[in-house]
Amino acid sequence: MRNITRINDIVKQALLVFPHFCLGRGLMDMAKNQAMAALYQNLGEDRFEDPLSWNMVGKNLFAMAIQGGVMFSLTLLIQYKFFCKPMSIKSLPTSSGEEDEDVARERERVQRGGAQNDLLRICDLTKMYRMKKTPAVEKICVGVPAAECFGLLGINGAGKTTTFKMLTGDNSPTAGDAFLNGYSIRTDLQLVQQNMGYCPQFDAIDELLTGREHLEFYARLRGVPQKEVSMILSSGVSDALKVFLKRFTLRNDQN
Domain span at residue 240?
211-254
Q: Both 105 and 188 in a single domain?
A: yes
Q: What is the pTM of this model?
A: 0.60
On whether residue 87 sits in a domain, the answer given is no
Strand ranges, E, within the chain: 120-127, 137-144, 175-180, 183-184
Q: Which residues pair with 140 in a beta bridge?
A: 125
Please list the ranges in the chain whose pLDDT falls under 70: 1, 83-97, 236-255
CATH number at residue 162: 3.40.50.300
> β-strand 137-144 against 183-184: which pairing, if any?
unpaired
Instruction: Tell me how many domains the chain contains.
Output: 3
Q: Both 111 and 159 in a single domain?
A: yes
Q: Both 171 and 228 in a single domain?
A: no
Give me the sign of the Cα torsion angle 195, 200, 201, 207: negative
Q: List, for residues 79-115, the tens digit of each pLDDT value.
A: 777 766 655 555 555 555 677 888 889 999 999 988 8
On whether residue 216 sits in a domain, the answer given is yes
pLDDT at 41: 84
- Are the C-beta atoms of residues 137 and 163 closer than 8 Å to each other? yes
Q: How far apart are CA 54 and CA 60, in angstroms?
A: 8
Residue 126 CB partners (closer than 8 Å, separation 6+): 92, 135, 137, 138, 139, 140, 173, 174, 175, 176
Q: Both 56 and 138 in a single domain?
A: no
Q: Both 184 and 219 in a single domain?
A: no
Q: How far apart are CA 57 and CA 146, in angstroms?
A: 60
Q: Both 184 and 105 in a single domain?
A: yes
Q: Both 189 and 225 in a single domain?
A: no
Q: Both 178 and 111 in a single domain?
A: yes
Q: Both 13 and 61 in a single domain?
A: yes
Q: How far apart are CA 248 and CA 223, in angstroms?
A: 34
Q: List, for residues 162-172, the tens digit of each pLDDT value.
A: 999 999 888 88
pLDDT at 98: 74
